[in-house]
């Protein structure tokens, strides 16, 4: 129901805004005013496929209406996929924000407006620096053409302390470029304590590892909130950045982390993965659900290290590991399968290119491929967890608390003999199933 209401409201506002002409200006602004008096969400959503036209006149009209008075009901202001080509349209919106007419704003979303650029970012920064927005939780400027100057201006605005409740900051994209100057300014804000609730950061496009390290060192100071999501994809993120990130990931603020996205960082190689592994093995990331390592320079050695992490039971909450583009050798693929086999709690979806296993024939069971064997163990583990959960719940419902503890212990140690016996056919022809052959991990310097 809420979703339907949101779509209907976006359509109403969009229809009014797009109906603006010089001739019906007063009528359109009157309709907008009436709509703004009752709405809590003011969102204009354009189309990513639209090649012609623009939304400048309508957005400017919306800005002028917002300047007329305070609108305390409005909690969300969004301009998404709008074709904004003129600075004046953003200036009108920024003026309304700076005047304090949206005192209860919680979400400000200017994402996917590639023409906003540094000029628009500076206008928004000026507004954020002058208006107190104690309830602002989310600021989105992804894929909006913001560069180093815009990032610096935004960082300075956030450093005023006017947005103490900000939890989510999303800036940049694979198409945008930030250098160390913008990153360093933002790092100063992270270390200042002016964003004590920040828990979700997406900052893409940092092309200087110096800036990456500066940001991470600032986060390590612990002046931010308990982090849930960290996205630093499409950055210049090499060994030094990996070492700095490993330190950050072992701090108390990151024990709550659920998503870590480092995709599109070609400087992340096997040595960087080994550096990050220190954090993975620290047991501080038990809540991590998703790890993005897509399109990095990881080879079999890095995958062997990750397999070792998973086999040992680290990252127990991991549900998704994206490693598309990694050089998955037969040895690393076998290690990943062994991780599923030996860590019976592992059910993570590992997205990767699996090599075939020529020495295994189609008659072997359950599959002639390493991917098939990995899928088999993943299903086994999931079924086992479901059975354990059902058995435990049934026991709790029927037994006294003292007996429950013993039953839970029994459930945790389900007979392994039966499983081992059932898996014997799978092991035929797969040399890595031998427990006495250790996996050697080497990283070339």
Who wins on pLDDT, 174 or 163?
Answer: 163
Q: What is the mean pLDDT of residues 272-293?
A: 97
Choose the weakest-confidence range: 112-126, 218-232, 318-332.
112-126
Q: Rounded CA gap, 230 and 314, in Å?
A: 19
**Residue whose C-alpha is closest to residue 105's, from 82, 80, 128, 81:** 128
How much is the mean pLDDT over the chain? 83
- What is d(CA 11, CA 5) in angstroms, rounded to the nearest whole number? 10
Q: What is the pLDDT of residue 68?
A: 93
According to the model, what pLDDT value does residue 145 have? Answer: 86
CATH class of 289-445: alpha beta
User: Is the confidence at residue 106, as pLDDT, over 90?
Assistant: yes
As a whole number of angstroms, the distance between CA 165 and CA 419 comes to 51
Q: Residue 51's pLDDT band (boundaries 50, 70, 90)?
A: low
pLDDT for residue 324 is more than 90:
yes
Judged against a pLDDT cut of 80, whether residue 442 lies above it is answered with no
- What is the tens place of the pLDDT at every residue in 367-414? 678 999 999 999 999 999 898 888 877 765 555 455 555 554 544 444
The alpha carbon of residue 221 and the mean position of all alpha carbons in its chain are separated, in whole angstroms, by 21
- The predicted structure's pLDDT at residue 45: 79
What phi and psi, each to the nearest 5 degrees, are found at residue 129? Answer: -80, -15
Section 170-186 average pLDDT: 87
Mean pLDDT computed over 54-73: 89
Provide the pLDDT for residue 399.
Answer: 54
Phi, psi of 146 (to 5 degrees): -80, 135
Please report the pLDDT score of residue 297 as a whole number.
95
Q: Is residue 101 scored above 50 in pLDDT? A: yes
Question: Is pLDDT at 178 greater than 60 in this prediction?
Answer: yes
Whether omega for the bond prior to residue 430 falls within 30 degrees of 0, making it cis, is no
Q: What confidence score (pLDDT) does residue 404 get?
A: 52
Element housing 349 (H / E): strand 349-351
What percent of the chain is modeled with pLDDT above 70?
A: 82
pLDDT, tens digit, 9 for 90 and up, residues 145-156? 899 999 999 999
pLDDT of residue 177: 82
User: Per residue in 429-440, pLDDT tens?
Assistant: 332 332 333 333
pLDDT recorded at residue 3: 44
Q: What is the pLDDT of residue 163?
A: 96
What integer is the mean pLDDT of 96-110?
95
Residue 59, pLDDT > 70, answer: yes
* Distance linking the first and last C-alpha atoms of the chain: 57
Q: pLDDT > 90: what percent of the chain?
A: 58
Q: Residue 217 in contact with residue 190, Cβ under 8 Å?
A: no
Q: Quick one: pLDDT at residue 74?
A: 94
Domain ranges within the chain, ordered by starting residue: 289-445
C-alpha–C-alpha distance, residues 259 and 263, integer Å = 12
Rounded to whole angstroms, the maximal C-alpha distance in the chain is: 84
Least confident of 54-68, 99-113, 309-323: 54-68
The pLDDT of residue 359 is: 56
H/E segment holding residue 139: strand 138-141
Please give the full DSSP string across 67-127, using - where no structure is assigned: TSS--TT--EEEEES-----HHHHHHHHHHHHTTS-TT--EEE-TT-TT-HHHHHHHHHHH
3-state DSSP assignment of residue 419: helix
pLDDT of residue 396: 57
The per-residue pLDDT for range 214-240, each reduced to its tens digit, is 999 999 999 999 999 999 999 988 899
* 349 vs 176, higher pLDDT: 349
Q: What is the DSSP letter of 178?
A: B
């Amino acid at each position: 129901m809420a979703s339907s209401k949101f779509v209907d409201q976006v359509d109403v506002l969009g229809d009014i805004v797009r109906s603006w002409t010089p001739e019906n200006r007063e009528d359109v602004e009157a309709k907008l005013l009436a709509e703004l008096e009752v709405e809590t969400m003011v969102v204009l959503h354009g189309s990513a496929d639209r090649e012609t036209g623009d939304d400048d006149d309508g957005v400017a009209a919306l800005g002028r209406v917002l300047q007329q008075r305070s609108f305390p009901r409005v909690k969300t202001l969004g301009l998404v996929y709008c074709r904004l080509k003129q600075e004046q349209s953003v200036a009108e919106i920024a003026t309304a924000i700076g005047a304090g007419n949206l005192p209860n704003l919680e979400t400000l979303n200017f994402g996917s407006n590639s023409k906003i650029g540094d000029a628009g970012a500076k206008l928004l920064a000026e507004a954020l620096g002058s208006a107190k927005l104690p309830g602002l939780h989310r600021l989105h400027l992804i894929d909006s053409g913001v560069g180093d100057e815009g990032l610096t201006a935004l960082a300075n605005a956030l450093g005023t302390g006017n947005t103490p409740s900000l939890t989510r900051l999303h800036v940049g994209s694979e198409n945008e470029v930030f250098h160390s100057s913008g990153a360093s300014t933002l790092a100063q804000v992270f270390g200042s304590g002016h964003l004590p609730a920040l828990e979700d950061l997406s900052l893409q496009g940092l092309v200087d590892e110096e800036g990456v390290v500066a940001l991470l060192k600032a986060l390590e100071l612990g002046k931010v909130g308990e982090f849930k999501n960290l996205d630093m994809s499409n950055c210049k993120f090499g060994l030094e950045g990996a070492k700095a990130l490993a330190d950050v990931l072992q701090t108390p603020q990151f024990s709550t982390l659920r998503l870590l996205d480092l995709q599109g960082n070609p400087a992340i190689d096997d040595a960087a993965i080994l550096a990050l592994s220190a954090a993975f093995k620290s047991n501080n990331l038990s809540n991590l659900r998703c790890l993005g390592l897509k399109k990095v320079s990881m080879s079999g050695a890095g995958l062997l290290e990750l397999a070792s992490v998973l086999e040992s039971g680290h990252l127990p909450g991991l549900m998704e590991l994206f490693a598309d583009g990694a050089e998955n050798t037969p040895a690393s693929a076998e290690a990943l399968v062994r991780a599923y086999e030996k860590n019976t709690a592992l059910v993570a979806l590992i997205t990767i290119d699996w090599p075939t296993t020529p020495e295994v024939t189609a008659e072997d069971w359950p599959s002639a491929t390493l991917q098939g064997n990995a899928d088999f163990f993943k299903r086994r583990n999931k079924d086992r967890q479901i059975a354990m959960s059902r058995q435990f719940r049934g026991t709790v419902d029927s037994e006294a608390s003292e007996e429950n503890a013993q039953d839970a212990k029994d459930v945790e140690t389900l007979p392994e003999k039966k499983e081992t016996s059932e898996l014997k056919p799978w092991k035929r022809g797969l040399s890595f199933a031998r427990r006495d052959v250790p996996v050697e991990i080497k990283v070339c310097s």
